[in-house]
Chains A and B, each alone.
Chain A
Amino acid sequence: MTAVVASPLACFAEHRADKLKRAFPTERPVSDDAELLQRIRSGAPEEFAELVRRHQSHVYAILYRYERDHHRLEDLAQDTFLKAWRSLEQFDGRAPFQHWLSKIAVHAALDHLRKQKRSQKEIGFPELGEDALEWLHNDNKQSDLEASQAREILANAMRKLSPEDQLVLTLLEIEDRSVKEISTLTGWTAVTVRVRALRARARLKKALEGSK
């Protein structure tokens, strides 16, 4: 009789234990950033490494548009994560962590461009290939330029612009971000973004014409 009664009880206990185990596994993988951040805040700073691993490619993808040298790019990315670490308390979790990190990366890129601009002296247009020069000279030329040459031309012309112009053109024209997104990332109003983009485009055209 006891065995008959104990059996459903044991079954129930086993089922309950299984349910609890599934709900609170002892070593479960951390699924989202919010949980990782919670752990960091409650005294596990080493968990920040996992956040870095998760978002390092995204940060690199933002920053490599502004710095081509691999070592300087690495410094810039490190600087972005350090800034994120130092101001982690300001992250309120209303937006995804990646959006917040993107903002920090964009501001780090802008600071970097400003520093570069200050230390920059005369910017000469370096030697372009004959094809590239011909392409630049002739507005009616239909042939397509090689992608690497086109990038070279654009990078050189962009360096002649102000850091803000470089940033807005990169975000709008190259990364295809919306005005609203740029406004969120930079902290500029939507009107400022539009006006800046329009003027930057005109200045870029001028810089390209001047490079002929």
Chain B
Amino acid sequence: MNNRKLNQLFNAAKTETPAAPNEGFAFLVMQQIQRNPARADLAISDVISMWFPRLAMVAAAVIAICVVSEMVFSSNAPSLSESAAQLSEPLVAEN
């Protein structure tokens, strides 16, 4: 079976006319719905996935704010070695 033949089969399938629904099809669907009208409630996962892009953006913004504020505050504070030296100063003086 070569590709040309295979494509010939696919092309024949492409030309097939789709079946059309009966005139009362919508009515039949509505009958089914009336028999069982319950619609599924939203699960938590659905709500999360519905809000996903917005939630993700808010979370990213919160993280960015935290990182920036941490950097700003830590730039004014003394470094770790300075703080250690300050703490150990009285001990060294005692000895």
A interface list, Cβ under 8 A from B: 45-46, 48-50, 52-53, 56-57, 60-61, 64-65, 70, 73-74, 77-78, 81-82, 85-90, 92, 135-136, 139, 144-145, 147-148, 150-151, 153-154, 157, 173-176, 201, 204-205, 208-209
B 4-62 contacts with A by CB, 8 A? 5-6, 8-16, 18-22, 25-30, 32-33, 37-42, 46, 50
The answer, among A57, A73, A144, A205, for a CB contact under 8 Å with B1, is A205
Shortest Cβ distance from residue B82 to the other chain A in the assembled complex, whole angstroms: 52
List, sorted by A's number, 28 A–B pairs whose CB atoms are closer than 8 Å. Answer: A48-B30, A48-B33, A56-B25, A56-B26, A60-B21, A78-B28, A82-B32, A85-B33, A86-B38, A87-B40, A90-B50, A139-B5, A144-B8, A147-B12, A148-B12, A150-B8, A150-B9, A150-B11, A150-B12, A151-B12, A151-B16, A154-B9, A157-B9, A174-B10, A174-B13, A175-B14, A176-B14, A205-B6
Q: Is B2 part of the contact surface with A, judged by Cβ < 8 Å?
A: yes
CB distance from B95 to the nearest CB of A (A): 66
Q: Are A57 and B6 in contact (CB under 8 A)?
A: no
Contact of B29 among A49, A70, A73, A90 (CB under 8 A): A49
Interface residues of B (CB under 8 A from A): 1-2, 5-6, 8-16, 18-22, 25-30, 32-33, 37-42, 46, 50
Given A52-B26, A56-B25, A208-B6, also A73-B19 (CB < 8 A): yes
Instruction: Given A49-B27, A74-B25, A82-B32, check contact A61 B18 (CB 8 Å).
Output: yes
Least Cβ–Cβ distance between A189 and chain B, in angstroms: 18
Chain A nearest CB, measured from B22 CB (Å)? 7
B residues within 8 A CB of A175? 14
Instruction: Name the CB-closest residue of A to B18.
Output: A61
Q: Which of A48, A52, A89 contacts B40 (CB 8 A)?
A: A89
B13 & A92 in contact (Cβ 8 Å cutoff): no
With beta carbons under 8 angstroms apart, the residue of B13, B26, B41, B42 that contacts A49 is B26
Known: A151-B12, A204-B6. A57 touches B40 (CB 8 A): no
